[in-house]
Structures are given as C-alpha cells and as structure tokens.
Amino acid sequence: MKKSENIVKTIGQVNQEQRESLIKQKACTFWFTGLSASGKTTLAYALEKKLFDDGKLCYVLDGDNIRHGLNSNLGFSAEDRSENIRRIAEVSKLMNDAGIIVLTSFISPFISDRELAKKIIGEENYKEIYVSTSLHDCEQRDPKGLYKKARCGEIIEFTGISSPYEPPSHPYLKINTANTAIQDALQLIITVLK
C-alpha cells in the first residue's frame, strides 16, 4: 500500500510533559511479554487496579481484546503478528503522549518486533516485563485450551509449539508466575517502580 504524499504531521500546543503535569504522573508503557497462559494479562490487570487505586490514569491493551476491534483484520502469520505489534506500539505512544500509563499484554514472540515497539514508543517510556513462566507450566494451565488445540494441529503457528518465542535478553523486570504468586509479583513490580 502506497503512502499518500499529501499528509503533513501537525503538532499541537500541549505536549506530553504538560499533560503529565496536569494529571501528576509520568507516562510510560509496561510491555508484558511471555507465552500464552504465562500470567501476562492477569498481572497487567492487577497492576492497572493498583495504579488506579493510587490515583493514576492507566489502561490495559490486551492481545485478545485488540484483535476483536483495532486489529480484527490481522491473522497470525509472521507479517500479521509484526503488524499487530507495530499498531499496538503506535497506540501506546499516542496514549503516552496523552499522559496515560499503558500496560500491554501481548505474547510478542519476536525480539525484532519488541525492539520496533521500543523504538516507536521511545526507550525512555518502554518498560519490558518478561513473564518467564515455562512452556510446561503454561501448558498445564491452558485456560483457553489453546495448547491442546495446537498439539492436535488445530492451530498452526502457535507460539511455543509450532512457532518460536524469543525471550528478552535484558528485560526491565523478569517474573515467573509459576513460583511467584500474583500478589507477590505485583508487589515486586510496585517496588521496582518506586
């Protein structure tokens, strides 16, 4: 698809720092990555509730929810997965510019896609949280039955089974929910934030 040459970027009269000052918080994106059923979404929503209770404006962008709307036209090919992550990074950047703390929960299996997300969002605003729960533990949980379907060949290109997951080498934080309770993991994140 060719980009129009008649598009001009506009800049408003209010910047991110002014918005942050108004709502008394520093915007950033916490990028939760890990296998399906690792605990990413559970942690993201727990952190959202804690931040909200502390008077912070925040929002969770969850992989399943985004694919019902914004990214409903994308499949799960490598190209579509990359485009999914690119779009989420662009939305996160816009929300950060509005002063909002964003909590994303996406498998985002490829290092190159997460690096692109960091570049789009900005390194100073991007905080990668690797939910490092093992494939074995994720497969034992399997709340949606996806691993079982993938093992039976009903789902192709499923991360951890027929498609690789490339773990982060230097995440902002690493949490294994198999040996860390959600409340303990949440407290760890809060401690690191402070």
Asked if residue 27 belongs to a known ligand binding site, the reply is no
Structure tokens at 124: 């100073």
Sequence-distant contacts of 52-55: CB under 8 A, at least 24 apart: 55/24
CA–CA gap between residue 161 and residue 155 (Å, rounded): 10
Asked if residue 38 belongs to a known ligand binding site, the reply is yes
Catalytic residue among 4, 21, 105, 108: 108
Asked if residue 41 belongs to a known ligand binding site, the reply is yes
Asked if residue 36 belongs to a known ligand binding site, the reply is yes
Structure tokens at 18: 């002014």
Asked if residue 72 belongs to a known ligand binding site, the reply is no
Asked if residue 37 belongs to a known ligand binding site, the reply is yes
CA–CA gap between residue 112 and residue 86 (Å, rounded): 11
Q: Is 21 a catalytic residue?
A: no
Contact 41, 35 (CB under 8 A): no
Name the binding residues for ATP: 34-41
* Catalytic site positions: 108
